[in-house]
Structure 1
Amino acid sequence: MNPRGLRARLRRLPVVTRLVLAVAVTMSLVLTGAAGLVYWRVKTALDQQLNDDLTTYQHSLDHAVRAEAPLPPGPSGSLQQVLDEQGRVLRSSDALRHRLLLTTAELDAVARGATVRRDVGSLLPITSDTLRLQAKRVAADRQTRIVVAAVRRGHRDEALRELLAQLAFASALTLIAASYVGYRTARAALRPVERYRSGAATLADGAPNTRLDVPAERDDEITRLGHTLNHMLDRLEAAAERERRFVADASHELRTPLTLMRAELDVALHRPRSAGELIETLRSVDTEVQRLIVLSNALLDLEELGSTGHITRSPARLADLVETAVAPYVRTAERTGRVLSVQASDTVVDADARWLVPGIGNMLDNALRHGTGTVRLTAAAHEGRLRLCVTDEGPGFPTEFLPRAFDRFTRAEASRTSEGSGLGLAFVHAVAAAHGGTAHAENTGHGSAVTLDLPC
């Protein structure tokens, strides 16, 4: 089978099945290795004992052949055979009679002085007359004799077969037990994951305020995953709520100027109008169009600023940035009889002037539009932080408005009849977030203050 195809099929299996397969394969390798080691040690010990018995018997036969004495009896079931150099049987056990135990090649090897040892019969399948023989050349009365000693392997083979059966049985039981334990452990470990999946599916089906049931007394990987998912659900629910509120507020803000434009046009078309009346109608429509343009540009700027990829920091003199931001509002302050006070340190900061300048402008516009008295702007950089603060001497923000002062389309006046779109401070907050800083609004006791704190 193609290895890639096998891996692909394994990846399609459930996680529990893959874990059980991994445990089973690993345990099979371990048990096979352990069984092989035990079998080798026992076989080595039995073979050593059998070889010692065979060597002892061989020595007694060699001594008897040299002394031309009767061949001594060996271990139970042992066999012996004495041959001349041509392979003729001179003496042999009754069970062998004239049947040679050695092959022609083995006779030649022993005749040249080699010692031959080999097994007759196999462990599996079971065969009769299993032997281990050893043949050596012996000099007797100036003649060369080949002495063959053989002992039966029946007890040794039976012990090894019994050992194999016991090892196979124990390994099978161990593998089944390990697989079962692995299955139960994997199911227990993944049960919370399945519970989390079911909870997430419920949320996906539209169930509100769904949260995962995470044990508070645990602190393992699965529990931390549950806390992370709950935090993600909180963020998603908050984002969905902000989206619903944004759509509702944007619809309201767009509906007002469009309704006014429609009303002006209906009145103009209802009956003939003089040139002066038509010009007045067009001016009113133009005002609402300008309001729509400003609102659309503000929304587009907020969406563009929401991506940090649009922030390009570069060194710039803080005094120049502040001067550029303040310039459009000097005449506005003069027309309303307000004082605009500016205090900026002459230092270089690392910021995106494209967004920072209109951010400062929105802070000033908010103070001039909704505050009273002197508007003060202070800008200073210290220890890598840029702090911009705009204060006024007005009544300040309503207490209930402060927590949502930087939300989109929020205004201190609930009727929404005042000037402005409710996006100015939202833009200030977006500038702060894009630069990795913060925006803060508060009441000072003598008016309101909006502060922008950025790393520079």
Structure 2
Amino acid sequence: MWPGSVRARATLGATAVVALALAAVSLALMGILHANLQRSAKETATQQADKVGRLAAQGTLPDLLPVAPGADFIQVVDAEGHVVAASQNLTGRPPIGHLRTDEGPLRATWSGEPFGDEHRQRIVAVTATTPGSTVTVYAGTSLRDADQADEITSVVLGIGAPLLLATVALVTWWVTGRALRPVEAIRSEVAEITGHALHRRVPVPDAQDEIARLARTMNVTLDRLEDAVVRQRRFIADASHELRSPITVLRTQLEVALAHPDPELWPDLVSEVLEDTVRLQDLAADLLFLARLDAAEPAESGPLDLADLCRTTLAARHGDRILIDAGLQAGVTIEGSRSRLTRLLTNLLDNAQRHADRRIELTLRADRATDTAVLEVSDDGPGIPEADRDRVFERFTRLDDARSRDLGGAGLGLAIARDIAGHHHGTLTAEPHPHGARIVARLPLSPEAVPAD
């Protein structure tokens, strides 16, 4: 039974709240009005009864009692139940004998007393001691005005309340509809966005409200989604191209071996096939590693001494073309994955080995101003043009395509290194160098790290 739309729920909720508030206010209003009229009638009757009681006590009680404004009748009855005096409208009427004041002054409301009409009377009875006996003074005030006021108020509320509730429901329905119209436009646009229409964006309302912020946030999310899809498609296309090349070479070499079954040629062919197989294996490993980074797979992380990691990595490298000069500051500790940071450093050193002429430098220091560890790898090779210093970190990017292929590079090393740095909340950039290339990684220091001077 609960409405399914936000518009209907908002309308029902607002109407219900207003209905409850209106009912409470109506009851309070009628109660206050009724109490005030009752109190006014009681005070008028009490004043009239007390005044007549004083006259009776003084022995100056006239037979025909005057009625003060606001009072309807007065009657004085003695102890034997005889009417001693009364107002003109009660002349000849029997005493109001069923009302007793044995337990003190009487304040009561009676229907039909003493005239028998449909309106109630507020009757006050007090006793007074006269020179000869004790009498009871009855003074009454009609509640006709109070009853009429109650009836009028009930009619007004009975007609006005439904009209007010209907107005509230209509206004809430209209206002909620206008407020939700941009949401419906956003929903319709999102429903039309598919994998082949990621360029589309949801409309942003002119009003600077929550819905406008939602639309802007959704457009930013769509921007990221489109960028991710474009990168994925480019990655798949580049990976397919890179995998096709070594596979084609392998097939050609095998076809040559079959076409020329000369045992003397097999060692050279097998060597070339093995070389291409290793290249293909390395490429597949790089692609798998990138896929894991993109999937944000967790890696073991903990405090890590970067100087120790650098020394271990350098000691494990055999057969490098150029000897690496290392200047490592001790005590530079970060939080990170040893295996992934080792891969980052290895990729930077491999890149430098491909392009250096005679010199490669590895430096590590702590920048206390920014609380970062600064890891630099520089070489004296051809360097990186300023226009390509950001593009060089894109996947499958080669500034010297033919040379990179000859040396076994697939254009993934620096891309993997930058992704690793990003996963460690750091950066990897290509910076100016007077004689070659300079790649700088900046990683946040561990909070407990106290770098040595």
Given the two structures, how large is their TM-score scaled by the length of structure 2? 0.82
Equivalent of 2:65, from 57, 66, 72?
72
Structure-1 residue corresponding to 2:326: 342
Structure-2 residue corresponding to 1:14: 5
Structure-2 residue corresponding to 1:237: 226
The answer on whether the counterparts of 1:64 and 1:72 sit within 8 Å (CA) in structure 2 is no
The answer on whether the counterparts of 2:71 and 2:139 sit within 8 Å (CA) in structure 1 is no
Instruction: Confirm whether residue 166 of structure 1 aligns to residue 153 of structure 2.
Output: no
Q: Which amino acid aligns with 2:193?
A: L
In the TM superposition, what whole-angstrom CA distance separates every residue of 1:270-290 from its partner, at most 9, and x where no partner exists?
56x244444544443333332
The answer on whether the counterparts of 1:249 and 1:409 sit within 8 Å (CA) in structure 2 is yes
What CA distance in whole angstroms lies between the structure 2 residues aligned with 1:218 and 1:451?
Answer: 45
Q: Which amino acid aligns with 2:72?
A: S
Structure-1 residue corresponding to 2:449: none
The answer on whether the counterparts of 1:304 and 1:310 sit within 8 Å (CA) in structure 2 is no
Structure-2 residue corresponding to 1:124: none
What CA distance in whole angstroms lies between the structure 1 residues aligned with 2:373 and 2:24?
Answer: 68
Instruction: Mark the CA change 1:325 to 1:84 in structure 2 (over 3 Å): closer, same or farther.
Output: same
What CA distance in whole angstroms lies between the structure 1 residues aligned with 2:97 and 2:263?
Answer: 136
Gaps of at least 5 residues in structure 2 are 446-453
What CA distance in whole angstroms lies between the structure 1 residues aligned with 2:91 and 2:414?
Answer: 112
Structure-1 residue corresponding to 2:291: 303
Instruction: Confirm whether residue 361 of structure 1 aligns to residue 346 of structure 2.
Output: yes
CA RMSD of aligned residues (A): 3.2
Instruction: Mark the CA change 1:182 to 1:101 in structure 2 (over 3 Å): closer, same or farther.
Output: farther
Equivalent of 1:388, from 372, 375, 378?
375
Instruction: Mark the CA change 1:206 to 1:315 in structure 2 (over 3 Å): closer, same or farther.
Output: closer
Gaps of at least 5 residues in structure 1 are 1-8, 122-126
Instruction: Mark the CA change 1:129 to 1:351 in structure 2 (over 3 Å): closer, same or farther.
Output: closer
Q: Does the residue aligned with 1:321 lie in a helix, a strand or coil? A: helix
Structure-1 residue corresponding to 2:180: 190
Equivalent of 2:22, from 16, 31, 34?
31
Residue 445 of structure 1 and its aligned partner are, at CA, apart by 4.6
What CA distance in whole angstroms lies between the structure 1 residues aligned with 2:44 and 2:415?
Answer: 98
Instruction: Mark the CA change 1:80 to 1:399 in structure 2 (over 3 Å): closer, same or farther.
Output: same
What CA distance in whole angstroms lies between the structure 1 residues aligned with 2:135 and 2:4?
Answer: 70
Q: Which amino acid aligns with 1:190?
A: L
Instruction: Mark the CA change 1:29 to 1:427 in structure 2 (over 3 Å): closer, same or farther.
Output: same
Instruction: Mark the CA change 1:348 to 1:393 in structure 2 (over 3 Å): closer, same or farther.
Output: closer
What CA distance in whole angstroms lies between the structure 2 residues aligned with 1:219 and 1:80?
Answer: 73
Residue 235 of structure 1 and its aligned partner are, at CA, apart by 0.6
What CA distance in whole angstroms lies between the structure 1 residues aligned with 2:80 and 2:271?
Answer: 135
Q: Which amino acid aligns with 1:27?
A: V
Q: Does the residue aligned with 2:389 lie in a helix, a strand or coil? A: helix
The answer on whether the counterparts of 1:65 and 1:71 sit within 8 Å (CA) in structure 2 is no
Given the two structures, how large is their TM-score scaled by the length of structure 1? 0.82
Instruction: Mark the CA change 1:96 to 1:310 in structure 2 (over 3 Å): closer, same or farther.
Output: farther
Identical-residue share of aligned pairs (%): 30
Higher helix share: 1
The answer on whether the counterparts of 2:63 and 2:85 sit within 8 Å (CA) in structure 1 is no
Residue 218 of structure 1 and its aligned partner are, at CA, apart by 5.2
In the TM superposition, what whole-angstrom CA distance separates every residue of 1:380-416 from its partner, at most 9, and x where no partner exists?
1121211111112222235554332222222224567
Residue 244 of structure 1 and its aligned partner are, at CA, apart by 0.2
